[in-house]
A and B are shown apart, each in its own frame.
Chain A
């Protein structure tokens, strides 16, 4: 365990489903991030929350909706996804500009 916990580890969903990814950290970090990792592409930053306020939305389609109820929890709500959204979704946290602590990721498959 790294201190950042992501659930579920694997998720298969249809294009009409609604699901949520959960991320939790108890490291006392003030920033949390969602990244998408697709095959043969660099990690793509999706959203940044700093002190539970969204500070970055990297032109992510509205079918991805983040939520940060407090500085320890981060969600990614998914609805009407496309097959090309299949990827590894990684959550991370950091204290200011320090090193990130990543979760193990959620492997998402959209069918």
Chain B
């Protein structure tokens, strides 16, 4: 089954606005991670939230996790044109000592100057 499905698939906003992306998953997780990808390059790790955490901040990023609803959201505040990229959530599950992340299809964020 598909894990880490993002919503919306595409988001277009003006610079200075906030951007919110959502992620849903199907089975229990060990942690959930958000990544960013620019133009078909490698992904960059943004933030990791563990299953026993509800909210985490990093600079202009805020991530929430609701394990009862099996969902997470990524909020980027005061967006900039440089935030234009694809954003992916990925879930890590128990049962192994290593990561084995399952990625969603991503949200394409466009921030207009």
Q: Which residues of A contact B (CB under 8 A)?
A: 2, 4, 6, 30-31, 33, 35, 37, 40-43, 45, 48, 50, 55-56, 88, 90, 92, 94, 96-105, 107
Is B110 an interface position by the 8 A CB rule?
A: no
Main secondary structure of the interface of A (DSSP, over half): strand
Instruction: Write the nearest CB–CB distance from A94 to chain B, whole angstroms.
Output: 4
Q: A40: nearest residue on chain B (CB-CB)?
A: B105
Contact A105:B45 (CB < 8 A) given known A42-B103, A45-B102, A56-B100:
no
In the bound complex, residues from chain A placing their C-beta under 8 Å from that of B44 are: 2, 102
Within 8 A of A (CB), among B45-95: 45, 48, 88, 90, 92
A96 to B4: give the CA distance in the assembly, Å: 20
Instruction: Write the nearest CB–CB distance from B104 to chain A, whole angstroms.
Output: 6
Is B1 an interface position by the 8 A CB rule?
A: no
Instruction: Write the nearest CB–CB distance from B55 to chain A, whole angstroms.
Output: 18
Is B24 an interface position by the 8 A CB rule?
A: no
A37 to B41: give the CA distance in the assembly, Å: 10
Q: Is the CB of A48 within 8 A of B105?
A: no
A40 to B16: give the CA distance in the assembly, Å: 29
Q: Is the CB of B96 within 8 A of A105?
A: no
Is B2 an interface position by the 8 A CB rule?
A: yes
For this complex, 28 residue pairs linking A to B, each with C-beta atoms less than 8 Å apart, are A4-B42, A31-B98, A31-B99, A33-B99, A33-B100, A42-B102, A43-B43, A43-B88, A43-B103, A45-B101, A48-B98, A50-B96, A88-B40, A90-B43, A96-B97, A96-B98, A97-B30, A97-B97, A98-B48, A99-B33, A100-B43, A100-B45, A100-B101, A101-B45, A102-B35, A102-B42, A103-B42, A104-B41
